[in-house]
C-alpha cells in the first residue's frame, strides 16, 4: 500500500485492519467509539509513540457524563436501560461505575448479533420499569437512529444519546463532541504529517471543550411546566420540582375538565 498517511475513521475494527495491512505508514485515527489509550493502540494522549495519532472522542469519560445528566433530569429514577453491544465494553464499565455511585441500577440491553431486535429490547425495558434509556456510542446503532428514537417516544422513555443528530429523529438529550470540529482537527493532523511531523510526537487530540455538551430537546416530547396537565393525567404542582416528561400533548389545568 503506497501511501504517505492513512486515515482510520470510526470504530476500532477499522484501525485494527489498517494496522494489520501496513507496517510503517503513519495512521491518523478518528476514534468514535473506543479509547485508543485504554485499548493499547497509543501509549498516551500526550505522547502516543509509534505511528498512530489522531482525535479521540473520549468514550472513556463521556458515558459518565451521560448517566449523570439523566440522573440530574430524573432525580427519582432507580433504573436506566442501556443499549450496548460488543463494541461498547469499555463505555459500559464506565456507565456501571457511575450508576453505582449515583445509586442507579443499569438494565443492560446487549445486542450480540445483527440485526438488532430493538422492539423486544424496549419491551424488556418497560417491563423492568426503567425510567430512561441510554444508548452507548456504537456504529451499529447509528443506522437505526430513527427506529430507536421512535421506540423511546412510543414507550415514553426519556432518552440520552451521543450526538445532537439523534435529536433530529426525536431523541430527548444528547451529550457529545462536535463532529465538525473533530474532523477538521483530523485534517490538520494529516497535513502536519505530510509536511514532516512525526505521529509519535503529535498528541492525540480531543474535541474542544467549548463544543461540549450538545444538548437538544425534540419538539415531539413535551415538558409540561407547573400547573399544566398532560393527557396522561399527571400534574406537576411545584415550580421547583423536576419536569414531568411525557410524549402526550399538553393542556392547561383549567382546560382539563
| Range in 13-22, 74-83, 157-166 with the lowest mean pLDDT | 157-166
Share of the chain above pLDDT 70, in %: 79
Encode burial over 128-140: b for 16+ CB neighbours within 10 A, e otherwise.
eebbbbbbbbbeb
Q: Is 232 or 58 the better-scoring residue by pLDDT?
A: 58
pLDDT in tens, 123-134: 999 999 999 999
Which secondary-structure segment (H or E) carries 148? helix 145-154
pLDDT at 230: 41
Q: Is 120 or 170 the better-scoring residue by pLDDT?
A: 120
Q: Is 111 or 62 the better-scoring residue by pLDDT?
A: 111
The burial class, CB within 10 Å (0-12 / 13-18 / 19+), for 242 is middle
DSSP-assigned letter for residue 28: E
Residues 250/228, Cβ–Cβ less than 8 Å: yes
- Beta-carbon count within 10 A of 151 CB: 21
**pLDDT of 210 over the 80 cut:** no
pLDDT at 78: 96
Share of the chain above pLDDT 90, in %: 58
The DSSP code sequence of 184-235 is HHHHHHHHHHHTT--GGGSPPB---GGG-------TTSEEE-TTEEETT--B
pLDDT in tens, 229-252: 443 434 343 444 444 444 433 333
pLDDT at 243: 43
132-135/173-174 β-pairing: unpaired
Which secondary-structure segment (H or E) carries 120? helix 118-127
**pLDDT of 113 over the 60 cut:** yes
pLDDT in tens, 147-195: 999 999 999 999 999 888 888 888 998 888 888 888 999 999 999 999 9
**pLDDT of 83 over the 50 cut:** yes
pLDDT at 35: 86
Residue of 245, 243, 192 lying closest to 218 (CA atoms): 245
**Does the predicted TM-score (pTM) go above 0.75?**
no
> Long-range contacts: 151-156, Cβ < 8 Å, 24+?
151/118, 151/119, 151/122, 152/122, 153/220, 153/221, 153/247, 154/122, 154/247, 155/122, 155/125, 155/126, 156/245, 156/246, 156/247, 156/248
Confidence of residue 59 (pLDDT cuts 50, 70, 90): low
Residues 225/251, Cβ–Cβ less than 8 Å: no
Amino acid at each position: 500500500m503506497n501511501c504517505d498517511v492513512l486515515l482510520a475513521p470510526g470504530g476500532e475494527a477499522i484501525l485494527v485492519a489498517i494496522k494489520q495491512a501496513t507496517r510503517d505508514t503513519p495512521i491518523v485515527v478518528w476514534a468514535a467509539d473506543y479509547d485508543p489509550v485504554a485499548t493499547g493502540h497509543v501509549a498516551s494522549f500526550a505522547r502516543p509513540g509509534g505511528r498512530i495519532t489522531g482525535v479521540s472522542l473520549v468514550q472513556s469519560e463521556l458515558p459518565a457524563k451521560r448517566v449523570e445528566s439523566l440522573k440530574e433530569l430524573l432525580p427519582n429514577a432507580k433504573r436506566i436501560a442501556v443499549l450496548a453491544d460488543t463494541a461498547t465494553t469499555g463505555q459500559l464499565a464506565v456507565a456501571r461505575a457511575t450508576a453505582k455511585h449515583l445509586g442507579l441500577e443499569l438494565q443492560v440491553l446487549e445486542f450480540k448479533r445483527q440485526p438488532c431486535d430493538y422492539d423486544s429490547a424496549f419491551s424488556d425495558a418497560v417491563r423492568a420499569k426503567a425510567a430512561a434509556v441510554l444508548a452507548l456510542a456504537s456504529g451499529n446503532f447509528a443506522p437505526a437512529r430513527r427506529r430507536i428514537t421512535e421506540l423511546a417516544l412510543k414507550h415514553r422513555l426519556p432518552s440520552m444519546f451521543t450526538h445532537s443528530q439523534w435529536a433530529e429523529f426525536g431523541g430527548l438529550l444528547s451529550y457529545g463532541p462536535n463532529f465538525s470540529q473533530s474532523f477538521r482537527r483530523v485534517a490538520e493532523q494529516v497535513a502536519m504529517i505530510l509536511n514532516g511531523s512525526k505521529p509519535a510526537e503529535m498528541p492525540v487530540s480531543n474535541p474542544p471543550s467549548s463544543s461540549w455538551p450538545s444538548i437538544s430537546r425534540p419538539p415531539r416530547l413535551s415538558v409540561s411546566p407547573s400547573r399544566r396537565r398532560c393527557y396522561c393525567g399527571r400534574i406537576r404542582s411545584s415550580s421547583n420540582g423536576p419536569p414531568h416528561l411525557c410524549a402526550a400533548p399538553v393542556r392547561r389545568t383549567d382546560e382539563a375538565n
